[in-house]
Chain A
Amino acid sequence: MTRWGMVIDLDRCTGCQACVVACKAENNVPFSTPELEVRNRVISWMSVLTIVEGEFPEIKERFLPRPCMHCENPPCVKVCPVGATYLNPEGIVAQVYTRCIGCRYCTNNCPYTLKYFNYFKPQWPKEMKNYLNPDVSRRQVGVVEKCTFCHHRLQKAKEKARVEKRKLREEDYIPACVQTCPTNALTFGDLDNPRSNVSRLAKSSRAFRLLEELGTEPKVYYLTEGEWHG
């Protein structure tokens, strides 16, 4: 069985924001505005957290890119009253926008705070609607959205494989953030395939997951930077 997962090597990450912008471009996330920023309503499926340690001049900064953790045991799914968010058979925590009733239970129950509620109608200037990705639906006001591991790319890859009468190869499917990462800090693939890069890295002694003690079993692994142990 396939279980999609991601490994993020914190040693390599330079906090450049390429993944953040690539995600917005791929998934039709509108740009924010100063007003949204002040009200803390900015939607960004992928975001880089900055952790500052130490005092001048012994200061250290660490960057932590955070997509949805796609937990094996997702707390958001448990509280969704309408099945708008669910764990699909390939391990992706999926979101059905038209099912969502906007109760925000899932945003509150996500320990990683990686689910975003559309408080306002997403807006684009008329001309900018041209660059919207036709593979991804736009969200309405009042629904919750989050990182889908660019699930639409998996759908396309599967279709392509079917047309070409072959099995889906692991490299056929790669999320936008992983594809663009300038330092190759992000790796994506099948965690259940023992020969895949991602499963090999996930077993490394440097690997850890965020808030592991909660038992959510995220499928996003991090590799520690230097001596840091998350």
Chain B
Amino acid sequence: MSLKRRDFLKIAGGISLSLPLYNCALDKLSDSTQQNSWLSGIESWIPTVCQACPGGCGIFVRVVDDRAVKIEGNPIHPLNRGRVCPRGQAGLQVLYSPERIKSPMKKVGRRDSRKWEIINWEEAINAVSSRLLELRNSEKSHTIAFMGQNSSHTTEDLITRFLKVYGTPNYIKLDDWTTLKKAYHLTQGIHDLLALDLENSKYVLSFGADFLTNWPTSMENQRIYGEKRSKRNIKIVQAEPRFSLCASRADKWIPINPGTEGLLAIGIASVIVKEKLYNERYLDRFALQFEDWIDDRGIKQKGFKSAILGEVRLDHISDVTGVPLRTIIEVAKEFSSTQPAVAVADYNLSFQTKGLFSVLAIHSLNALIGNIDSPGGLLRQRRAPLGDMPPVKLDKRAERGMSQPRIDGVSGNELTSHTDGIEKFCENILNKDPYEINCLFLSNNSLNLSSPISKKVKEALKNIPFIVSFSSFLDDANSFADIILPDSSFFEKWQESQVSPMSKIPIVGICQPAVKPLYQSKPFDDVILTLAKKMGSPISQNFPWSSFKELLLDRLKGLFEAKRGSVFTSPPEEEQLRLLEERGWWVPQHASSEAFMKGLLEKGGWQDPSYHFNERSYIYQTPSRKFEFFSLLKTQEIHPEFSGDENEYPFILYLYDLPFNSDFNGVNMPWHQETIGFRFNLGWHTWVEINPETAKKLNIQDKELVWVESPYGKIKVIVKIFSGIIPHVVSIPLGKEEDVPGQKNARKIIDPLVLIGETHDVQTGVLSRQSTRVKIYKSGRSGNK
């Protein structure tokens, strides 16, 4: 038998392709740096939860010889069903980022310097606890504040407990979704977000909501989108100034002037009211102030119906929003006749001068067609029954501290309420009103200093004598820190992760360490426990747990005792369980609490697939137990405002979040950074989107470098000519950084937030990102070089 050369090469090729399986033998030939010795190749898959965003998708981490090498989805996690988003896929780049802070550090020299010396944990904990004790003993416990973003429930409860026992009401929680929560509170009396039942919906009217990409439930929405698109039984209409990724997946994009989303909703409502397309039965039973009503003083007041009929002029709305009359009428008819339909808004609308009004107006559409707490509409999740922590015992000092007003001006000193805006907090610190802040704790990723009020924030931070940061990366905010206690990433610690209330069913994912904490980092929760212990009685008495894991497993037992739901199981079994539970049955799967806990850790978590409709007191918690139109009726003057002179600055600036990048923390994920600009064929560089018509007028070419200037600042960016933006609007993405890990000198940040002025939502005080005017002019350079 003769062997031809080509055949021989093929065989050789086959061998060499299969060789990598045997531990990179070829690699050793080509590059000896990969591994110093042969790998034993022991592989394990650790079920845990992704926390690259607040979503909480179930994942498996593939660990080979103590190295985490790949992330795959957990197929039985009900949120993502085995799928992972691009951000989650890039998660390991955060774990192994060369830029992580490797050990506790103490500031040396001036406070605004960026010089630290490495200290050990004992020293660090001593420094913090002695400072805390000193303040507490001199009756100044209320002068410490903790600042953090939304994190897992148990972590938040732990922080709350710590602050309560210590004696301060100042838990400053920042959340982009507060405007939406506020709107639901005003109309339905609930302090919560509602879930979109996309699965059963036939028509989604989205007002700039990035529900496929930037919601905590995006992975669920993507899956349902795929299924429904395939069967062609959903229509999505997206109204927003820019043709976003969601708009490109919608059936219809309605370009609308920035800040007028609420007006469009009012226009649609007026058509529905005029043509009597509303759901009379629902409004009768569940709504207040739709018809004219008599107030406490016996005076007749106009209801929503007469207000709309009397005051709304559709042609005027069409002019202001830029949406043709015909489109408004068409959408209103489609929306009210296709059942079930739902109108959705998201945090994007918070960033305008009339944000709360917009969200209220959009939510009123849902009331008009009566799809609150109905299939295919907006639902309210029943929370997972985590076990309670033992009650706290407060001493007199703690009670005195807790009775002080909050520094951020939020009324009531409950530690659970969110902060409206960081601005008030900073002003109060600077004015020492009502007292000074002596110590600030910054949780991981809590503060983004790239905003127009950053000056004020920086001033405030300078005024605080002692700042402790838990950040695992150096950024502008923690450059003010006196002590840094680096937190571990979610691959290295125990955590519980409940899905956001925007998912209709409660899910608790268990995050367990895939690898040991790298370097000298320590999980935040364990550090808080250590700190509490170090401070001795009476604080330490309230923290009997030896580790956070112990506390967590203790609370998870509550899931077993609640006799609801089950550990993750296959979709058919889940459906079976749902049917049973909705009919009042429940079958225990595990004989003992130990067996339950074992199952929980193996499968990755717990879920309860059932949903019970018509629990009126859970959905409507207003005094009337009805949907109230009142707050919408009170709103006056609903036109958006812009800062900057229209003649000098002809364009409205529209800043937006890129897909899967709603909190700007994708900076340490180069894979994520290089791919999110794919629609414009741009990876690392940031850009400004300009309508072709505008570009022609300004004589600007695609990919040219231009200056974008507002009354507050200017930046130089690349032009992308894009038909998906309104001619008098220009848009710039947020959270794009040319920051290459391992190349410190390459760090180049173009921050579009320097362009915006101090304009706020008139009702909520949230800073507006969409109300500044800009001008654009050539820089005389091409963007290619």
Instruction: Tell me the nearest residue of chain A to B26, going by C-beta.
Output: A137
B199 is an interface residue with CB less than 8 A from chain A: no
The answer for the CA separation of A15 and B27 in the assembled complex, in Å, is 34
Partner of B226, one of A32, A56, A124, A184: A184
Contacts of B785 in A (CB 8 A): 38
Residues A98 and B29 in contact, CB atoms below 8 Å apart: yes
A129 is an interface residue with CB less than 8 A from chain B: yes
Contacts of A124 in B (CB 8 A): 742
Partner of A151, one of B17, B23, B72, B670: B17
A101 is an interface residue with CB less than 8 A from chain B: no
Contacts of A55 in B (CB 8 A): 692, 723
B635 is an interface residue with CB less than 8 A from chain A: no
Q: How many residues of A contact B (CB 8 A)?
A: 73
Given A37-B683, A126-B98, also A25-B723 (CB < 8 A): no
Q: At the interface, is chain B mostly helix, strand, loop or mixed?
A: mixed
A59 is an interface residue with CB less than 8 A from chain B: yes
Residues A56 and B13 in contact, CB atoms below 8 Å apart: no
Contacts of A181 in B (CB 8 A): 83
Contacts of A21 in B (CB 8 A): 86, 89-90, 671-672, 675
The answer for the CA separation of A138 and B222 in the assembled complex, in Å, is 33
Residues A11 and B660 in contact, CB atoms below 8 Å apart: no
Residues B222 and A183 in contact, CB atoms below 8 Å apart: yes
Instruction: Tell me the nearest residue of chain A to B84, going by C-beta.
Output: A180
Residues B31 and A138 in contact, CB atoms below 8 Å apart: yes
Contacts of A216 in B (CB 8 A): none
B2 is an interface residue with CB less than 8 A from chain A: no
Instruction: Tell me the nearest residue of chain B to A156, going by C-beta.
Output: B21
A211 is an interface residue with CB less than 8 A from chain B: no
Contacts of B65 in A (CB 8 A): 134
B93 is an interface residue with CB less than 8 A from chain A: yes
Given A17-B676, A18-B89, also A32-B684 (CB < 8 A): yes
Contacts of B14 in A (CB 8 A): 88, 94
Contacts of A18 in B (CB 8 A): 83-86, 88-89
Partner of A83, one of B9, B33, B212: B9
Instruction: Tell me the nearest residue of chain A to B87, going by C-beta.
Output: A21
Instruction: Tell me the nearest residue of chain A to B680, going by C-beta.
Output: A50
Residues B20 and A137 in contact, CB atoms below 8 Å apart: yes
Instruction: Tell me the nearest residue of chain B to A177, going by C-beta.
Output: B89
Given A33-B746, A131-B93, A134-B23, also A182-B9 (CB < 8 A): no
A113 is an interface residue with CB less than 8 A from chain B: no
Residues A134 and B16 in contact, CB atoms below 8 Å apart: no
Given A59-B253, A133-B70, A180-B72, also A127-B97 (CB < 8 A): yes
Contacts of A15 in B (CB 8 A): 245, 248, 678-679
Q: Which of A151-197 contact B (CB under 8 A)?
A: 151-152, 155-156, 159, 176, 179-185
A22 is an interface residue with CB less than 8 A from chain B: yes
The answer for the CA separation of A61 and B253 in the assembled complex, in Å, is 11
Given A21-B86, A56-B691, A131-B69, also A98-B26 (CB < 8 A): yes
The 0/1 profile, CB within 8 Å of B marked 1, for residues 41-79 of chain A is 010100110101011110111000000000000000000
The 0/1 profile, CB within 8 Å of A marked 1, for residues 1-32 of chain B is 00000100110111011111101101101110
B405 is an interface residue with CB less than 8 A from chain A: no
Contacts of B587 in A (CB 8 A): none
Choose among B23, B69, B685, B738 the residue with the greatest number of A CB atoms under 10 Å from its CB: B69
Q: At the interface, is chain A mostly helix, strand, loop or mixed?
A: loop
Residues A185 and B226 in contact, CB atoms below 8 Å apart: yes
B699 is an interface residue with CB less than 8 A from chain A: no
Contacts of A140 in B (CB 8 A): 30-31
The answer for the CA separation of A83 and B85 in the assembled complex, in Å, is 37
Residues B692 and A83 in contact, CB atoms below 8 Å apart: no
Cβ of B135 to closest chain A Cβ, rounded Å:
38
Residues A16 and B30 in contact, CB atoms below 8 Å apart: no
The 0/1 profile, CB within 8 Å of B marked 1, for residues 119-141 of chain A is 00000111111111111111110
Residues B255 and A57 in contact, CB atoms below 8 Å apart: yes
Instruction: Tell me the nearest residue of chain B to A60, going by C-beta.
Output: B248
Q: Which 9 A-B pairs have the closest CB atoms?
A: A183-B226, A125-B742, A83-B9, A31-B670, A182-B222, A61-B248, A21-B89, A34-B684, A96-B13
Q: List 11 A-B contacts (CB under 8 A).
A: A12-B225, A17-B675, A18-B84, A25-B89, A34-B748, A50-B679, A99-B13, A125-B742, A130-B68, A131-B92, A138-B27
Show the binding face of B for A, using Cβ within 8 Å: 6, 9-10, 12-14, 16-21, 23-24, 26-27, 29-31, 33-35, 39, 41, 64-65, 67-73, 80, 82-86, 88-90, 92-93, 95-98, 100, 212-213, 218-219, 222-223, 225-227, 229-230, 243, 245, 248-249, 253, 255, 659-660, 670-672, 674-676, 678-685, 691-693, 723-727, 738, 740-743, 746, 748, 784-785
Show the binding face of A for B, using Cβ within 8 Å: 9, 11-12, 14-18, 20-22, 24-26, 31-34, 37-38, 42, 44, 47-48, 50, 52, 54-57, 59-61, 82-84, 86, 88, 94, 96-99, 124-140, 151-152, 155-156, 159, 176, 179-185
Inter-chain pairs besides A59-B243, A129-B33, A140-B30, 14 sampled, C-beta below 8 Å: A17-B659, A32-B683, A34-B685, A44-B675, A56-B727, A59-B253, A60-B248, A83-B6, A88-B14, A94-B17, A99-B9, A180-B72, A180-B84, A182-B218
